[in-house]
Structure 1
Amino acid sequence: MYNGIGLTTPRGSGTNGYVVRNMSVLRTHETAIDRASAWDIAPPKHREPDVEILEHERKRKVEVKCLELQLELEEQEIEEDKIDEQVNGLRTKLLANLDAFDQNAKNLRPSDRHGIAMAKKEELSKMARALGTRRDYAEGEAFDREKQEEQKVRRMVEREERERQRDEERARMQAQKEKWEAERKERDRLRRREEAGGGRREKKR
């Protein structure tokens, strides 16, 4: 009990004996304005991964690989110059291919928040490409008639602009084709004139 409220003993009640709020009760004071304002709430934003932290993590893994190789070579009692040469070669090779150190999302630790965020971002991008979702899509805009009318007008304007550009391109190609045809006819005429002039000179001889 707390301040005289509650059960003296939870035995046989099927509860833990604590006074808790009943979350199943509907709120009767909710108005139509509150329900309408619920659409104005922005959707939750996913945490953006920090690229610099991910880059630092990859480079740290490269140094770990280099240190493992250095310790292994030192145990084999190889000269320091050769050890440095092999370690530097491995470091150069690994730094040239840092993307190979991207872990699978299943192998990430719960504390690796930026890696998880990057995997989630790639997953959402892949799903958006599969569903053909626009990048500027906002949740709930399909029910906004004014928004749909604006998008319809914008698509009509864009379609007319594309058709106008296509017509201009066709006209330009037609003009270029006519120009080439006129040049070809002029070359053929000049060639026939030269051939006719050469034939007359042969007859005079």
Structure 2
Amino acid sequence: MYNGIGITTPRGTGTNGYVQRNLSFVPTKRDRVEYVKDADMKKLETLIEKKGNAEILEHEKKRKIEVKCMEMRDMMLNNGYDEEVTNQKVQKFRKMLIEREGLYDKTDIEYDEFGRPVAKETHQLAQANDEKNRKLREAFGIGEYDKKKKAEQKLEEAKEIERRKAELASKLYT
């Protein structure tokens, strides 16, 4: 390529090889504008509205407690404890874990030093996101957004406008 124009040498071109840039050329910029499609909007709305399933989170807590109890049971049986004594101690340990973990309390999510949730499960992340949104709504004094209530309000406003039009029409023509 000679001087950036696609030939290797000026020989045989009928020119002296001096190449000038075209100063009148205006480059076209193709900045694509990506519009948000309805399908993308629905996906984003579902992500915002997604709630963490409390039953799944509760089940996960119960499972962790049972795993700890089974580990304790296996350890005690390996150390030569009697079956009845082992069962009694495991029952006490299970009750203690349930009280300590607060199984039936609201699920707590651990946060790192930057305030991000340290959850690995999608339901925990959804619950953490819901809690964050609740705190923001509280801070800004925004109420809970409900599509059904909003639709009912619009319907009532439309009915009120129609009623006023009817009243105005009856006053004008009587």
The alignment's TM-score, normalised by the length of structure 1, stands at: 0.43
1:104-161 CA-to-partner distances (Å, cap 9, x unmatched) read: 153322xx111111111111111111111111378xx9xxxxx8xx6xxxxxxxxxxx
CA gap 1:26/1:80 in 2 versus in 1, 3 angstroms: closer
Residue 100 (structure 1) shift: 8.5
Residue 26 (structure 1) shift: 4.5
CA gap 1:50/1:26 in 2 versus in 1, 3 angstroms: closer
Match of 2:65 in 1: 62
- Is 1:24 matched up with 2:31? yes
- Is 1:108 matched up with 2:119? yes
**The residue matched to 1:133 in structure 2 has which SS?**
coil
Runs of at least 5 residues in structure 1 that lack an aligned partner in the other structure: 1-21, 31-37, 142-146, 151-205
In the aligned structure 2, how far is the partner of 1:115 from the partner of 1:133?
24
Q: Higher relative contact order at CA 8 Å, sep ≥6: structure 1 or structure 2?
A: 2
Contact 1:54 1:114 in 2 (8 A): yes
Match of 2:45 in 1: 44
Runs of at least 5 residues in structure 2 that lack an aligned partner in the other structure: 1-28, 112-116, 158-174
Residue 48 (structure 1) shift: 1.5
Alignment of 1:146-161 (within 5 A): none
CA gap 1:129/1:101 in 2 versus in 1, 3 angstroms: closer
Contact 1:61 1:101 in 2 (8 A): no
Match of 1:76 in 2: 79
For 2:81, the aligned partner's letter is I
Residue 49 (structure 1) shift: 1.3
Contact 2:65 2:98 in 1 (8 A): yes
Q: Which moved more, 1:96-105 or 1:49-58?
A: 96-105
Match of 1:173 in 2: none
For 1:136, the aligned partner's letter is Y
Alignment of 1:123-142 (within 5 A): 123-136=132-145
Residue 76 (structure 1) shift: 2.4
**The residue matched to 1:44 in structure 2 has which SS?**
helix
The alignment's TM-score, normalised by the length of structure 2, stands at: 0.50
For 1:104, the aligned partner's letter is E
